[in-house]
């Protein structure tokens, strides 16, 4: 079997369902990838993550290069064996760290030099080294190294970065060996539509297995982000998956599926869980709020997750306020279940040609919830 194939199985308005075949099995799209940066979705076992409905998870090459080291992982049978996850894995390249750790890195034509955020040791990333590291990890979907510019970056800076990204992508593709997984190119260009179109043209000239929209949700206005996606996604080949990097707000997932996006990842559900914020059909529920101190209800009556079946808001608030480790687990179970079930609902709606009806119902419910939050306690 090839590294990756993709076919569209249903359409509704601008949304689509697809079947993505990877080396380790099929993935139904649109799909949300729980983030396991360091080979772990925080607080949960791989069996629990799969039980919540996840088919594909994400890990980060930069962090795994730092510890325990990709050679260590390879020596222990590869990333799947190392972390006990049997399904497909996508590995990010470290391009986001070029943005998030900008104070610790130096960028040049050949690659990026980092001072490790752990111990200050010098670390060098090049397009070739990043592909080699992902091949050592034995990931199924690999990302090219690129630069994720900050929001508001000057047009001239973006033009230079795009030209370098194109050269890096070609080098990454040339460096992939026969054993390497699928390789996805990344479209950048900030909020400039013509630069995005130029990036699409250069990345589509390469024989990539799929394409990602990068450099979004990094501080630009939400309206700008949506307009960029709406204008850029249709320019990409229809027979390959489109991945929107780093976006996971439920409302954004619904909107972006309607714009033709197939794949998503974000730390939002798990990070919010650890901060005491739970996702519901009516919006966010903040466990710090004193109104939940003696509330016997589950987080959400209609939710079928383990947390909602067994525990009250009052108990979850108690655990969070007491900083009990069980709080992080139960909250994470709920938030990931919510997001994964939202994606499953979107897939069902698309198959029934009812995406627009689904989206209207979703946003109507959110508005009702905002109205309730505005009421006095």
What HEC string does 162-176 produce? HHHHHHHHHHHHHHC
pLDDT tens, residue by residue, 202-260 = 999 999 999 999 999 999 999 999 999 999 999 999 999 999 999 999 999 999 999 99
376 pLDDT higher than 50: no
Q: For residue 54, which of 4, 2, 89, 13 has the smallest C-alpha distance?
A: 89
CATH (domain of 236): 3.20.20.105
Beta bridge mates, 31: 263
284 pLDDT higher than 50: yes
Same domain, 234 and 277: no
Same domain, 205 and 154: yes
Same domain, 183 and 235: yes
Give the domain-ending residue among 266, 290, 319. 266
Q: What is the pTM of this model?
A: 0.96
Residue 57 contacts residue 85 (beta carbons within 8 Å): yes
Same domain, 259 and 282: no
Same domain, 21 and 73: yes
Check the CA dihedral 286-299-15-207 and report its sign: positive
Same domain, 206 and 261: yes
Q: What does DSSP assign to residue 48?
A: H
pLDDT tens, residue by residue, 47-68 = 999 999 999 999 999 999 999 9
What average pLDDT does the segment 359-373 reach?
A: 89
Give the domain-ending residue among 237, 266, 295. 266
Same domain, 256 and 285: no
Q: Reply yes or no: is the peptide bond before residue 30 cis, omega within 30 of 0.
A: yes
Give the domain-ending residue among 246, 266, 286. 266
Specify the pLDDT at position 246: 95
What average pLDDT does the segment 280-285 reach?
A: 98
Give the domain extent around 191.
Answer: 4-266
Specify the pLDDT at position 23: 97
Beta bridge mates, 182: 141
Q: What is the largest CA-CA distance in the chain?
A: 62
Same domain, 296 and 321: yes
Cα(353)–Cα(341) distance, integer angstroms: 18
186 pLDDT higher than 50: yes
Measured CA to CA in angstroms, residue 46 lies from 30, 76, 134 at distances of: 21, 17, 20
Cα(245)–Cα(185) distance, integer angstroms: 12
If you search the block for the tokens 């034509």, which residue do you land on?
109
Same domain, 11 and 145: yes
pLDDT tens, residue by residue, 63-98 = 999 999 999 999 999 999 999 999 999 999 987 887
What average pLDDT does the segment 24-28 reach?
A: 98
129 pLDDT higher than 60: yes
pLDDT class for 377, splitting at 50, 70, 90? very low
Specify the pLDDT at position 207: 94
- Domain count of the fold of the chain: 2
Same domain, 218 and 283: no
What average pLDDT does the segment 135-139 reach?
A: 98
Same domain, 203 and 315: no
Residue 287 contacts residue 313 (beta carbons within 8 Å): yes
Mean pLDDT of the chain: 95
Of 20-34, 185-199, 326-340, 363-377, which gets the smallest average pLDDT?
Answer: 363-377
Same domain, 155 and 304: no
pLDDT class for 373, splitting at 50, 70, 90? low
Q: What does DSSP assign to residue 145?
A: -
Catalytic residue list: 92, 265
Residue 164 contacts residue 109 (beta carbons within 8 Å): yes
CA angle 173, 177, 179 (to 5 degrees): 125
Specify the pLDDT at position 371: 66
């Amino acid at each position: 079997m090839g590294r990756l194939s993709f076919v569209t199985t249903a359409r509704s308005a601008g949304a689509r369902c697809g079947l993505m075949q990877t080396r380790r099995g099929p993935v139904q799209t649109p799909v949300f990838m729980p983030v396991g940066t360091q080979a772990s979705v925080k607080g949960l076992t791989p069996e629990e993550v799969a039980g919540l409905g996840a088919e594909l998870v994400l890990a980060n090459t930069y962090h795994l290069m730092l510890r325990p080291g990709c050679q260590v992982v390879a020596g222990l049978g590869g990333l799947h064996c190392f972390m006990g996850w049997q399904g497909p894995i996508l590995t990010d390249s470290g391009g986001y760290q070029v943005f998030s750790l900008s104070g610790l890195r130096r960028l040049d034509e050949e690659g990026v030099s980092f001072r490790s955020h752990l111990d200050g040791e010098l670390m060098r990333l090049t397009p070739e080294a990043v592909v080699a590291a992902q091949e050592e990890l034995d990931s199924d979907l690999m990302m090219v190294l690129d630069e994720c510019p900050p929001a508001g970056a000057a047009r001239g800076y973006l033009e230079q970065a795009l030209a370098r990204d194109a050269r890096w992508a070609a080098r990454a593709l040339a460096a992939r060996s026969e054993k390497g997984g699928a390789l996805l190119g990344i479209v950048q260009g900030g909020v400039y539509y013509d630069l995005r179109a130029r990036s699409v043209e250069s990345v589509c000239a390469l024989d990539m297995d799929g394409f990602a929209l990068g450099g979004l949700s990094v501080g630009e206005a939400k309206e700008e982000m949506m307009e960029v996606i709406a204008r850029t996604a249709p320019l990409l080949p229809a027979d390959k998956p489109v991945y929107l990097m780093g976006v996971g707000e439920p409302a954004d997932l619904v909107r972006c599926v309607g714009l033709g996006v197939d794949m998503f990842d974000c730390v939002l559900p798990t990070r919010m869980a650890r901060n005491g914020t739970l996702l519901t059909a009516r919006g966010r529920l903040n466990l710090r709020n004193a109104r939940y101190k003696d509330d016997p209800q589950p987080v959400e009556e209609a939710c079928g997750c383990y947390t909602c079946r067994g525990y009250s808001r009052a108990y979850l608030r108690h655990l969070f306020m007491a900083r009990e480790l069980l709080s992080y687990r139960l909250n994470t179970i709920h938030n990931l279940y919510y997001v994964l079930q939202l994606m499953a609902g979107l897939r069902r709606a698309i198959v029934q040609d009812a995406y627009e009806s689904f989206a209207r119902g979703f946003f109507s419910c959110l508005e009702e919830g905002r109205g309730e939050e505005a009421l006095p306690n």
